[in-house]
Amino acid sequence: MTPLEALSQKQKRIQSLESIAGLLGWDEQTLLPQDSADQRQDQNATMAAIIHEAKTDPEIGKLLEQIEALPHGPDDTGIQAVLRDARIEYDRATKLPASYVEQHARLCSEAYHAWAAARKNNDFSAFAPYLKRHLELAKEGADYLGWGDRPYDLQIDFHDPGMDAQTIGTLFSGLKKELVPIVQQIIEAPTQARTDIFKGFPIPEQKTFLEEVTASLGFNYKRGRIDISLHPFCSGNGADTRMTTRFDEDNPLDSLFSSIHETGHGLYEQGLPLESLHNALGKAAGMGAHESQSRLWENQVCRSRSFWNHYEPKFRSAFPKQLEGISSDELYLAINSVSKNPIRVDSDEVTYNLHIVIRFEIEKKLFSGELRVEDLPDYWNSQYKELLGIAPRNDAEGVLQDVHWSGGAFGYFPSYCLGNMLAAQLWYTVAEEHSDLEQDFEKGDFSRLLSWLRKNVHAHGARYHLMELSNKATGKELSHTSLIRYLKERYLPLYT
> 258-291 pLDDT, tens per residue?
999 999 999 999 999 999 999 999 999 999 999 9
**E strand intervals along 281-352:** none
The C-alpha atoms of residue 365 and residue 460 are separated, in whole angstroms, by 35
The C-alpha atoms of residue 130 and residue 136 are separated, in whole angstroms, by 10
**Residue 237 confidence (pLDDT):** 96
> 452-478 pLDDT, tens per residue?
999 999 999 999 999 999 999 999 999
> 207-262 pLDDT, tens per residue?
999 999 999 999 999 999 999 998 899 999 999 999 999 999 999 999 999 999 99
**Residue 209 confidence (pLDDT):** 98
Torsions phi, psi for 227 (to 5 deg): -135, -170
Residues with active-site annotation? 262
Listing DSSP states for 13-57 in one string gives: HHHHHHHHHHHHHHHHHHT--GGGHHHHHHHHHHHHHHHHHHHT-
**Residue 70 confidence (pLDDT):** 87
The CB density around residue 466, as the number of other CB atoms within 10 Å, is 25
**Residue 65 confidence (pLDDT):** 96
Please, which pLDDT band fits residue 75 given cuts at 50, 70 and 90? low
